[in-house]
Amino acid sequence: MKRIGITTTVPIEILLAAGYKPVDLNNLFITSKDYSKYIDRAERDGFPKSSCAWIKGIYGACLEHKIEEVIGVIGGDCSNTKALIEVLKLLGIKFYPFAYPHNRSLEKVKESLDDFMDLFGVTLEEVEEERKSLKKARDLAKRIDELTFKENKATGFENHLYQVSCSDFDGDILGFEKELKDKIEDIKRRDPLNKEIRLGFIGVPPMTADIYEYVNKFNAYFVYNEVQREFAFPRANRVNNIYEQYYDYTYPYDIEFRLEVIKKEIEKRNLDAIIHYTQAFCYREIEDILIKDKLDIPILSVSGDKFNYLDSRTELRLEAFLDMLGDLKGVKG
Ligand code: SF4
């Protein structure tokens, strides 16, 4: 199967129907032991220091892994992605456009998906077949989520990892299913985590994935990963077709629908507080204003840049925040 790079969640059912193997360039970048070399390469090639590390990492991963074709999301993603695609085109990488409509309307989503299907010459029936073939892996990822927030057995990091991986199913759907099944059996055998402060993580998936381990040093743990969970399409079983599935996806549209879903999850998962993660130089840092205004729960905003570990200032802020939450709850923080 020919590889095709993706820079964010796109309707991969269409790519699979067209015989491609989608590869999430974010995952190639961040799981590399040598992730900083991707950033260095981008900066050497002219990306400004003041551009987000994800964009530079994606660029570096695309070139280092010799990806020849990419999906460029030209609507519903950031302007950095648009500029990135222009640079990749200049280097001879073939690009296929996909646009989420700005306004969340089923009719507009349908138009976007139909255009994308036409571009790859696939039919709705073929795409629905692929949608069915992903059901099992999506259900298993959902089971990991339940083991996190209902049974308190899966860690926040496991929850993050297995849901974020649903953007491309690690390039091997059957292998990914098997890994999830084994992991679920392993998690089920554990005793529940004995922690009092229940946290939600919202915002782009973190560069600094050690945040999960760090909060575990205290009386706290993450039981919700907002965007990662959206990548896994947890409500896919409730919809009738691919159009409704991507209409029900919160991340690319205006923030209202996203906040609605977050509010439900705060309630359902009995959260004590939210950590809002943003990436330095990302326009989504500005959304922090809206998030703090609209959500009635303690929120700590943290920001990462180009290292994959927390800096000591962020660690101190997290510690103080957890301490304060412990006082509010009458438990040790
Ligand atoms: S972190 Fe922000 S700026 Fe960077 S790629 Fe994601 S949306 Fe764009």
Q: Which residue has better confidence, 178 or 72?
A: 178
Do the beta carbons of residue 77 and residue 252 sit within 8 Å?
A: yes
287 band by pLDDT with thresholds 50, 70 and 90: very high
| 189-203 residue pLDDT tens | 999 999 999 999 999
Half-sphere exposure in the Cβ direction for 293 (13 Å, CA): 7
Q: Which residues, other chains included, contact 22 with Cβ-Cβ below 8 Å and sequence gap of 6+?
A: 3, 4, 5, 6, 10, 12, 15, 16, 71, 168, 171
d(CA 39, CA 45): 10
191-329 maps to which CATH number? 3.40.50.11900
Could you give the residue range(s) of every CATH 3.40.50.11890 domain in the chain?
Answer: 2-131
The pLDDT of residue 60 is above 80: yes
For residue 16, what pLDDT is reported?
Answer: 98
In ligand 1, the atom with minimum distance to the C-alpha of 58 is: 5
Range from 79-88, 126-135, 196-205 carrying the lowest mean pLDDT: 79-88
In ligand 1, the atom with minimum distance to the C-alpha of 284 is: 2
Alpha helices, DSSP H only, in 165-306? 173-188, 211-215, 226-231, 242-247, 255-268, 287-294
Is 55 near ligand 1, meaning CB less than 6 Å away? Answer: yes
For residue 74, what pLDDT is reported?
Answer: 81
**Which mutation among 81, 100, 230, 287 tests ligand 1's pocket best, with the greatest number of atoms within 8 A of CB?**
81
Q: How far is the CA of 15 from the centre of ligand 1 (A)?
A: 23
In ligand 1, the atom with minimum distance to the C-alpha of 204 is: 1
Is 85 near ligand 1, meaning CB less than 6 Å away? Answer: no
For residue 127, what pLDDT is reported?
Answer: 98
Could you give the residue range(s) of every CATH 3.40.50.11900 domain in the chain?
Answer: 191-329
| 211-257 residue pLDDT tens | 999 999 999 999 999 999 999 999 999 999 999 999 999 999 889 99
Do the beta carbons of residue 159 and residue 187 sit within 8 Å?
A: no
For residue 293, what pLDDT is reported?
Answer: 97
The pLDDT of residue 333 is above 80: no
The pLDDT of residue 75 is above 80: no
The pLDDT of residue 126 is above 90: yes
Is 78 near ligand 1, meaning CB less than 6 Å away? Answer: yes
CA dihedral (240, 241, 242, 247) positive or negative: negative
58 band by pLDDT with thresholds 50, 70 and 90: very high
First and final C-alpha spacing in the chain: 50
Q: Determine whether 234 is exposed, middle or buried from the number of CB atoms within 10 Å of its CB (0-12, 13-18, 19+).
A: buried
In ligand 1, the atom with minimum distance to the C-alpha of 7 is: 5
d(CA 188, CA 305): 35
What token pair was written down for 4?
Answer: 């095709």
Q: What is the pTM of this model?
A: 0.95
Q: Which of 245, 243, 152 is nearest to 196 (CA)?
A: 152
78 band by pLDDT with thresholds 50, 70 and 90: confident
The pLDDT of residue 265 is above 90: yes
Is 207 near ligand 1, meaning CB less than 6 Å away? Answer: no
Is 53 near ligand 1, meaning CB less than 6 Å away? Answer: no
For residue 136, what pLDDT is reported?
Answer: 97
Is 80 near ligand 1, meaning CB less than 6 Å away? Answer: yes
User: Which whole-number Å values give the CA distances from 306 to 3, 213, 259, 303, 309, in the listed order?
Assistant: 27, 19, 28, 10, 9
What phi-psi label fits residue 28: left (phi over 0), alpha (psi between -120 and 50 degrees) or beta? alpha
pLDDT average, residue stretch 304-325: 96
Cite the beta strand spans of the chain per DSSP E: 2-6, 20-24, 69-75, 94-99, 197-203, 220-225, 273-279, 299-304
**Domain 2-131, what fold?**
Rossmann fold (3.40.50)
Is 52 near ligand 1, meaning CB less than 6 Å away? Answer: yes
pLDDT average, residue stretch 87-110: 93
| 15-34 residue pLDDT tens | 999 999 999 999 999 999 99
Average pLDDT, the chain: 95
For residue 4, what pLDDT is reported?
Answer: 97
7 band by pLDDT with thresholds 50, 70 and 90: very high
For residue 237, what pLDDT is reported?
Answer: 93
Q: What CA dihedral angle connects 166, 51, 304 and 206, to 10 degrees?
A: 0
The pLDDT of residue 76 is above 80: no
The pLDDT of residue 77 is above 80: no
